[in-house]
């Protein structure tokens, strides 16, 4: 049975606001009123206030004295900084995973199911297996702090994959990573992970800079 | 304004989080202990807003559990938690010095922070060393210029990494000596040596903290 992650309301609110900022639904320097957001999202003010706090720590908004917020300009530098760090930590995690090499049955299974989902064009399923694969690799790093930071970063800037070509290529890399963990090849695992994260980076830059054309 | 330099400080919430984090990690605050917003704010001499934010930060790190009435209880931590914490910090701190060397970033602030630590030690005002220590690391994060690494490292800051076996004097001397090696490598733009010295500096801090867990 899969573990169910129950995320508190503030995290859900934060995720929704993040998406809106990244996709440009909220413009740079737009004023976000606490009442208005709570009303639009259909939740009470407290989780919205806490969510804005989280986004402020991530550099996405600036909190105003009355607990409302202003949307920061999301620059390409901001996204590059994020992916530089994520790449560093993901590489470290898979390096450690390949050194310790745990039981890869579940990882293999997730890769297979992700492929199936891809062929059926069921991207909701694909995205579930995609995040599951990464979660298992983080756990294999046997470093809870690393796992926690990676999970935090994933939530900060993750955009689901809805293009078959991208999804298949991404899952091909997942399978290579699993092979590296099984064969205890930490250096190669690092390289595969590096290009894998780089793919997400380019995808997000693309979305950010062309979101208006897509919407 | 002309001639005025921005004052580099961590925000109040992060400073409060760092103080509480250190207290939990060094077991000054024990598992199960109850923290209230008002008492903690009064003790640290700040308003309750940064404390509320600090509680949120620490909850995300699994160090405290928050209750709806806004009180919190301290969660238990063990040696493994400390090791994971410092190894992760070592990865990020090492990457920062590598970036400083690679980008040939401006290092005046790092030098200044080092000199301030040096004069604190020379005048034997060891109680002030902690501030210089923080400035030194902060200056490196700023020079590296990656805002994301900076915010993660702030969340991994816990103030002095003093073991139960060291005096403030020994701690300051050791730390300053290591900072000198790191700075020397940075000045020479020797990324490998800077990375190695920084990694060892953090791991040595970890071993020092772990003496509190014996």
Tens of pLDDT along chain B (214 residues) come to: 444 544 456 778 888 998 898 888 888 899 999 999 999 999 988 888 889 889 988 988 889 998 877 689 999 888 898 899 999 999 999 999 999 999 999 999 999 999 999 999 999 999 889 889 999 999 999 999 998 999 899 888 876 666 666 788 998 999 999 999 999 999 999 999 999 999 999 999 999 888 877 7
The structure tokens 């005096």 sit at: B167
With H, G, I as helix, E, B as strand and everything else as coil, classify residue B3.
coil
Q: Which of B76, B88, B102 has the highest number of chain A CBs within 10 A, making it the mutation to test binding with A?
A: B88
CB of A23 within 8 A of CB of A207? Answer: yes
* Inter-residue contact A190 to A94 (CB < 8 Å): yes
Residues of A in contact with B152 (CB under 8 A): 85, 149
Give alpha helix (H) positions in chain A.
9-22, 34-41, 45-57, 76-100, 105-119, 123-140, 144-156, 164-182, 186-214
Yes or no: say if B198 and B141 are a contact pair by the CB < 8 Å rule: no
Task: Please tell me the predicted confidence (pLDDT) of residue A1.
Answer: 33
- Interface ipTM > 0.85: no
Q: Which among B61, B84, B147 has the least Cβ separation from residue A81?
A: B147
In chain A, the residue whose alpha carbon lies closest to the alpha carbon of B82 is A145
Average pLDDT over residues A35-44: 93
Backbone torsions φ then ψ of B162, nearest 5 degrees: -90, 130
Cβ–Cβ gap B88/A145 under 8 Å: yes
Q: Are B50 and B13 in contact (CB under 8 A)?
A: yes
Give contacts of A57 with chain B, Cβ < 8 Å: 57, 151
- Residue A215: which residues within 8 A CB-CB, separation 6 or more? A23, A24
Instruction: Between A168 and A164, name the one with better pLDDT.
Output: A168
- Residue B91: predicted pLDDT: 97
- What is the distance in angstroms between the Cα of B171 and the nearest Cα belonging to chain A? 25
Strand ranges in B10-148 using DSSP code E only, listed in sequence order:
34-35, 64-66, 72-74
Q: Quick count: other Cβ atoms within 10 Å of Cβ A12? A: 14
pTM of the model: 0.83
A118 neighbors A167 (Cβ within 8 angstroms): yes
Q: Residue B151 and residue A92: Cβ atoms within 8 Å?
A: no
Residues above pLDDT 90, as percent of chain A: 53
pLDDT of amino acid A85: 96
Helices and strands (H and E) in chain B: how many: 9, 3
Interface touch A82/B148, C-beta < 8 Å: yes
Please, which pLDDT band fits residue A6 given cuts at 50, 70 and 90? very low
Q: Which residue's structure tokens are 């304004």?
A: B1
- What pLDDT, on the 0 to 100 scale, is given for residue A74? 86
CA distances B80 to A146, A203, B133, B174, Å, are: 12, 36, 25, 24
Residues 6+ apart with CB under 8 A from B105: B99, B143, B144, B145
Q: In chain B, what are the helix, strand and coil shares in percent, each to the nearest 5?
A: 70, 5, 30
Alpha helical stretches, state H, A101-163: 105-119, 123-140, 144-156
Q: How confident is the model at residue A32 (pLDDT cuts 50, 70, 90)?
A: very high
Query: Is B95 touching A (CB cutoff 8 A)?
Result: yes
Instruction: Render the burial of A139-178: b for 16+ CB within 10 Å, e for the rest.
Output: bbbbbbbbbbbbbebbbbbbbebeeeeebeebbebbbbbb
- Residue A94 sits at the chain B interface (C-beta within 8 Å): no
Whether residue A138 contacts residue A151, with contact meaning beta carbons closer than 8 Å, is answered with yes
Find the residue in B nearest to A142 (Cα).
B84
Asked if the Cβ–Cβ distance from A59 to B151 is below 8 Å, we say yes
Contact at CB, B85 and A145, closer than 8 angstroms = yes
Chain B residues in contact with A148 by the CB 8 A cut-off are 60-62
Q: How far is CA B132 from CA A93, B120, B128, B145, B165, in A?
A: 32, 8, 7, 20, 22
DSSP string, B127-189: GGHHHHHHHHHHHHHHHHT-HHHHHHHHHT--S----TT--HHHHHHHHHHHHHHHHHHHHTT
Between chains, do B149 and A149 touch, taking CB under 8 Å as contact? no
Q: Give me the total of CB pairs closer than 8 Å, taking one residue from chain A and one from chain B.
A: 55
- Using alpha carbons, list the distances in angstroms from residue B124 to A160, B118, B121, B128: 56, 10, 5, 9
- Please give the Cα distance from B139 to B155 (Å, whole number): 16
Cβ–Cβ contact A62 with B under 8 A: no
Q: Quick one: A74 exposed, middle or buried, by C-beta within 10 A (0-12, 13-18, 19+)?
A: middle
The predicted-structure confidence for A75-118, as pLDDT tens digits, reads as follows: 889 889 999 999 999 999 999 999 988 889 999 999 999 999 99
Cα angle: B23, vertex B28, B32; to 5 degrees: 95
């Amino acid at each position: 049975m899969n573990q169910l992650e129950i995320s508190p309301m503030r995290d859900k609110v934060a995720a929704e606001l993040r998406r809106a900022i990244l996709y440009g639904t909220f413009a740079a320097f737009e004023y976000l009123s606490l009442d208005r957001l709570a009303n639009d999202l259909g939740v009470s003010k407290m989780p919205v206030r806490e969510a804005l706090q989280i986004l402020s720590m991530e550099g996405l908004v600036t909190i105003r004295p009355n607990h409302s917020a202003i949307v920061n300009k999301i620059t390409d530098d901001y996204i590059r900084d994020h992916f530089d760090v994520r790449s560093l930590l993901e590489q470290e995690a898979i390096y450690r995973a390949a050194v310790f090499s745990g039981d890869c049955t579940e990882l293999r299974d997730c890769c297979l199911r992700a492929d199936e989902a891809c062929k059926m064009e069921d991207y909701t399923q694909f995205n579930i297996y995609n995040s599951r694969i990464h979660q298992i690799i983080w756990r294999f790093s046997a470093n809870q702090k690393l796992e926690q930071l990676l999970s935090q970063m994933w939530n900060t800037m993750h955009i689901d994959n809805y293009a078959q070509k991208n999804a298949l290529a991404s899952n091909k890399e997942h399978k290579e990573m699993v092979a590296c963990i099984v064969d205890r090849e930490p250096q190669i695992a690092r390289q595969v992970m590096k290009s894998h994260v780089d793919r997400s980076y380019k995808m997000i830059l693309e979305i950010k800079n062309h979101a208006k054309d897509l919407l | 304004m002309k001639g005025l330099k921005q004052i580099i400080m961590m925000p109040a919430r992060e400073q409060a989080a760092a103080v509480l984090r250190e207290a939990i990690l060094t077991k000054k605050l024990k598992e199960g202990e109850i923290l209230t917003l008002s008492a903690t704010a009064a003790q640290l001499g700040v308003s309750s807003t940064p404390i509320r934010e600090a509680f949120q930060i620490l909850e995300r790190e699994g160090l405290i559990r928050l209750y709806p009435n806004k009180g919190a209880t301290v969660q238990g931590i063990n040696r493994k938690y400390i090791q994971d914490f410092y190894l992760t910090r070592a990865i990020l701190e090492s990457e920062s010095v590598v970036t400083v060397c690679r980008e040939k970033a401006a290092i005046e602030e790092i030098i200044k922070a080092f000199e301030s630590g040096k004069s604190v030690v020379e005048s034997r005002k060891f109680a002030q060393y902690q501030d210089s220590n923080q400035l030194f690391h902060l200056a490196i994060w700023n020079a590296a210029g990656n805002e994301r690494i900076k915010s993660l490292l702030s969340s991994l800051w816990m103030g002095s990494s003093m073991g139960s076996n060291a005096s403030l004097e020994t701690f300051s001397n050791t730390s300053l000596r290591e900072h000198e090696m790191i700075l020397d490598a940075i000045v020479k733009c020797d990324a490998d040596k800077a990375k190695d010295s920084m990694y060892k500096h953090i791991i040595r801090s970890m071993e020092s903290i772990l003496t509190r867990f014996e």
